[in-house]
Structure 1
Amino acid sequence: MDEKAQLLIGPDEKVPTGEAVLLGLQHVLAMDVYVPPIILGGLLAMGAADSTGLLQATFLACGIGTILQTAYFMKMPVSQGPSFVPLTAAAGVVLASGGLHGGGMSTLMGALLVGAILLILLGLSGFFQKIINRLVPAVVGGTIITCVGLSLIPSALNDNIFEAKGDVYQNMELAGITAAILIICVAISIRFPRVQKLFKTGSIVIALLVGTAISASMGRFDASSVAAAPWFSLPQRTIFHWGIHFDMTAIFTFIIIYAILTTETTGTWFAMGAVTNHEITDKQWNRGIIGEGLSCLIATITGTTPVTGYSTNAGIISITGVASKIVFVAAGVWFIILGFCTKLSAFLAAIPAPVIGGVFAIITVTIMLNGLNVIRNLKVRESDLYIIGLPIVITIALVLIPQKIVHGAPQMVQYLLGSPVAMAAITAIVLNLIMPKRAKI
């Protein structure tokens, strides 16, 4: 079967406004963008006002970054979201520089600002595309996509199900029901083509709504936080609140962090290209890095950590078959609304983690399989077996590595150990450069 038939709606196809609004919300619901700011708020012992400000800033940066990348720079269906990679580094910089209200946040803002500007300059130089063409052929790109999906599976299962709050057996039940609803929707869309548009394109939001309703019947949905949240509020914790201070140690730390983030977002773009049947052009690579830098710059101005391309959305497209850029612009608008509508933000944050995990687990597998699909279509050389295999082993190893080993390593090494995708990508690139080229098998 032609792979292009997997898409019901292509990236450049138009979608009615009402439908785009609902499908955009589906992407927002399936992304756990509120988790990183909540984690950082916990690491820094933030109060309610600071935590709310961080969450608002994250939503705003995601929304503006998504619209910029999708409509103007990358010009692909790309959604921006906060990365988990910078969290420990961000907390470390703040705590080492006087704490939350003692100048630490201003030092963090200064380091984030410099890193974002460097990304923009890299894209403007036109050099990034040359790096990609030289270092990332199809076999490396397919391997990175595979490792992106593989690295997300433990987060879907452990963080959202097995180690989430509440009874673990009830968590598994909720996740299982949500995943089953998603599969049933997809099965109905395949068996009955007449209702394909409803059940395939809306499968994720249907699963999440049913899962949330069932969790409410179990007493797992906390409506009190939603009731207590105000309807609207303006962001109060921007860069103008925290101030800016430049510290060379913090700046160097975040230059390394941004390099790792760039490696990860490259994997996301490969994944999105694979599911949308699109080969990324040289201009897109450079424009994409400019857009990435601008997204991170906006994140800094609003007062949050870097936002980068989210790989989750590639899996959502694989399941729903909808890749329209209009839908992603709608998702960006939803994020901006969430940045001002704190009650709606509180509702999304109140959806139980196992409900998200049930959908997220399936999404991650589809990303991994898209990477394997890229590799499957190549005529593999003997050396390619190692280029593909070793990064997969490293991804699994870093996912399973005991935290005491990570915490015992030097700080810079900790950042790399905390990013399986970056380490897998570096391994694949280096192996591709040093392995001898032999006959195809």
Structure 2
Amino acid sequence: MSAHPAARRLPAPRVLILGIQHLIVMYTGCVTVPLVFGSALGLSTETIGVLVNADLLVAGLVTVIQALGISRILGVRLPIVAGASFTAVTPMILIGQQYGLQAVWGAMIAAGLFGVLIAVPFSRITRFFPPAVRGAAVTIIGLSLIGTAIGMITDGASSIGGRLALAGAVIALIVVLMRFGRGFLAQAAVLIALLAGTAVAGALSMADFSSVAGAAWFGLPQPFHFGAPTFPIAAVISMCIVMLVIFTESTAYMMSVAEMSGQRLRSGDVARGLAADGLSGVLGGVFTSFPDTVFAQNVSLLQMTGVRSRRVVTVTGVLLVVMGLLPKLGEAVASLPTVVVGAVSLVMFATVAGVGITTLSTVRYEGTQNMLIVSLSLGIGMVPVVAPDLYSTFPTTVQIIAGGAITSCVIVAFVLNLLFNARGQQAHPAPVPAQAAAAPALESLEGQR
């Protein structure tokens, strides 16, 4: 019997290189969260650097926990990479502007504890997240993040012709390697394209690594960097709502990765994965980081490479922890040219949307109102993307809920599913991969490793 995809052993050099590829694919998206948050609140460059280090440290710890698990308490034990959730950015900015920075991380600690406490009951209502809801959620995540990739490609440049040409060449190289490459060459297509693009960007003076020299070699995030946390009720409620959306997002991805890996996901597995997300909120509140979720582009990387090994993402998690403690190393990766990272991210985010569309293809539309559920949730979810200022005059709570593409899409899909499919049952079950038939026995073997 062949090894389960999530437990399959690969040669150490390949595990290391594939782990680095996962790291580079998620790195920019992960550090974008503290960069956007810090810029919006006018924080100094030094302070933003503290947030970045803490962000990487917590993401690494949670990634390792999700991949390896801690007994029967934490971790889904799937090949997933955790990173700072984009869903939390806007609410955190609004809380910081209204209540101050101490309230941001106080509310996060409270939301993290809330997440840990409700992980088990939330995992038992996964029947209310059939493919129509999960597929809409994953699709809107991919679509809403494409703008972020385009922003990295253009990066505010007045003349973008050269940047577009380089981005196009990076994307073309990924396509060529995926089409004609074999084995490891195809699996490392994203990393190869990124390195090649960086080399070209350097030759064209579009890359700057001068800041690496001034970065410190070692730095440990300081707990409660902004002082003792505070807990305004409105801020806590807002972040608890965000945690629920993060749970929905993570649940959809855990199910997608489990299907890719041929593993049957039980409610207990989901609960442990969600509890790890909740723990990220607590750790983030203490170390001034951010709540984590399953990172979208790494799910798409699993789909592209076909490598589902937990050992690969464990390496990624360890490297993230190291980078969180070694600012100089983190600065080197952060200095990768945005145009190249943006091109890679465009492929990743588009693939995320494709994963969601694949899930939506398993939905039975005939004789149901599932088409309305999918169409309306996607339509309302796209409103903040195409009209970002529409809700700017509304109260803060409304902005937090309705002003986020992911939040609004998930809420609409969930409510409409309850309305039209009262029992929350999936009318047309998604096909179970052939490997899933052996999942219980394989899970038993995996638990003994």
| TM-score of Structure 1 vs Structure 2, range by shorter chain | 0.7 to 0.9
Query: Does structure 2 conserve the Cα–Cα contact (< 8 Å) formed by 1:144 and 1:371?
Result: yes
TM-score, length basis structure 1: 0.87
Partner in structure 1 of residue 81 of structure 2 = 79
User: Any gaps of 5 or more consecutive residues in structure 1?
Assistant: 1-7, 98-103, 190-195
Aligned partner of 1:429 among 409, 414, 422: 414
The answer on 1:29 being equivalent to 2:14 is no
Aligned partner of 1:187 among 179, 188, 198: 179
Separation of aligned partners in 2, 1:94 and 1:436: 39
Partner in structure 2 of residue 170 of structure 1 = 162
Separation of aligned partners in 2, 1:422 and 1:96: 21
Partner in structure 1 of residue 124 of structure 2 = 130
SS, match of residue 110 in structure 1: helix
Separation of aligned partners in 1, 2:410 and 2:103: 30
Q: Deviations over 1:131-166 (max 9, x none)?
A: 212x11233223323233222222222x22245446
How far apart are 1:326 and its partner, in Å?
Answer: 0.6
Partner in structure 2 of residue 60 of structure 1 = 57
How far apart are 1:212 and its partner, in Å?
Answer: 0.8
How far apart are 1:170 and its partner, in Å?
Answer: 2.1
Partner in structure 2 of residue 4 of structure 1 = none
Separation of aligned partners in 2, 1:406 and 1:418: 6
User: Any gaps of 5 or more consecutive residues in structure 2?
Assistant: 70-74, 429-449
How far apart are 1:303 and its partner, in Å?
Answer: 1.5
How far apart are 1:347 and its partner, in Å?
Answer: 1.4
SS, match of residue 233 in structure 1: coil
Partner in structure 1 of residue 41 of structure 2 = 44
Partner in structure 2 of residue 212 of structure 1 = 198
Partner in structure 1 of residue 287 of structure 2 = 302
Separation of aligned partners in 1, 2:395 and 2:363: 39
Query: Does structure 1 conserve the Cα–Cα contact (< 8 Å) formed by 2:278 and 2:291?
Result: no
How far apart are 1:55 and its partner, in Å?
Answer: 0.8
Separation of aligned partners in 2, 1:37 and 1:404: 22
Separation of aligned partners in 2, 1:404 and 1:147: 19
Query: Does structure 2 conserve the Cα–Cα contact (< 8 Å) formed by 1:9 and 1:322?
Result: no
Separation of aligned partners in 2, 1:386 and 1:79: 32
Using the TM superposition, name which of 238-247 and 308-317 deviates more: 238-247
Partner in structure 2 of residue 364 of structure 1 = 349
Query: Does structure 2 conserve the Cα–Cα contact (< 8 Å) formed by 1:260 and 1:416?
Result: no
- 1:278–1:165: structure 2 CA closer, same or farther, 3 Å change rule? farther
Separation of aligned partners in 2, 1:267 and 1:164: 34
SS, match of residue 147 in structure 2: helix
How far apart are 1:368 and its partner, in Å?
Answer: 2.0
Separation of aligned partners in 1, 2:242 and 2:123: 20
TM-score, length basis structure 2: 0.86
The answer on 1:161 being equivalent to 2:153 is yes
Separation of aligned partners in 1, 2:237 and 2:111: 9
- 1:390–1:348: structure 2 CA closer, same or farther, 3 Å change rule? same
Query: Does structure 1 conserve the Cα–Cα contact (< 8 Å) formed by 2:155 and 2:338?
Result: no
Q: Deviations over 1:346-371 (max 9, x none)?
A: 11111122211211112222222222
Q: Deviations over 1:150-204 (max 9, x none)?
A: 22222222x2224544632222112111111111111122xxxxxx222111111
The answer on 1:120 being equivalent to 2:105 is no
Separation of aligned partners in 1, 2:91 and 2:275: 23
Q: Spell out the pairing of 1:32-431 with structure 2 (5 A cutoff).
A: 32-72=29-69, 73-97=75-99, 104-123=100-119, 126-133=120-127, 135-157=128-150, 159-165=151-157, 167-189=159-181, 196-235=182-221, 237-239=222-224, 242-382=227-367, 383-401=369-387, 403-431=388-416
Using the TM superposition, name which of 268-277 and 26-35 deviates more: 268-277
How far apart are 1:378 and its partner, in Å?
Answer: 4.3
Q: Deviations over 1:274-321 (max 9, x none)?
A: 443444221112111111111222222222121222111111111111
Separation of aligned partners in 2, 1:199 and 1:295: 34
Query: Does structure 2 conserve the Cα–Cα contact (< 8 Å) formed by 1:275 and 1:314?
Result: no
Separation of aligned partners in 1, 2:241 and 2:421: 30
Separation of aligned partners in 2, 1:107 and 1:149: 30
Query: Does structure 2 conserve the Cα–Cα contact (< 8 Å) formed by 1:188 and 1:199?
Result: no
Separation of aligned partners in 1, 2:62 and 2:170: 30
Separation of aligned partners in 1, 2:96 and 2:400: 16
SS, match of residue 87 in structure 2: coil
Using the TM superposition, name which of 365-374 and 161-170 deviates more: 161-170
Query: Does structure 2 conserve the Cα–Cα contact (< 8 Å) formed by 1:10 and 1:276?
Result: yes
Amino acid in structure 2 at the alignment position of 1:22: I
Q: Deviations over 1:14-44 (max 9, x none)?
A: 2233321211111111112111111122122
- 1:146–1:48: structure 2 CA closer, same or farther, 3 Å change rule? closer
Partner in structure 1 of residue 442 of structure 2 = none
Q: Deviations over 1:222-245 (max 9, x none)?
A: 12111221222222x422663223
Amino acid in structure 1 at the alignment position of 2:8: E
Separation of aligned partners in 1, 2:110 and 2:6: 33
Amino acid in structure 1 at the alignment position of 2:51: L
Partner in structure 2 of residue 5 of structure 1 = none
Separation of aligned partners in 1, 2:389 and 2:142: 25
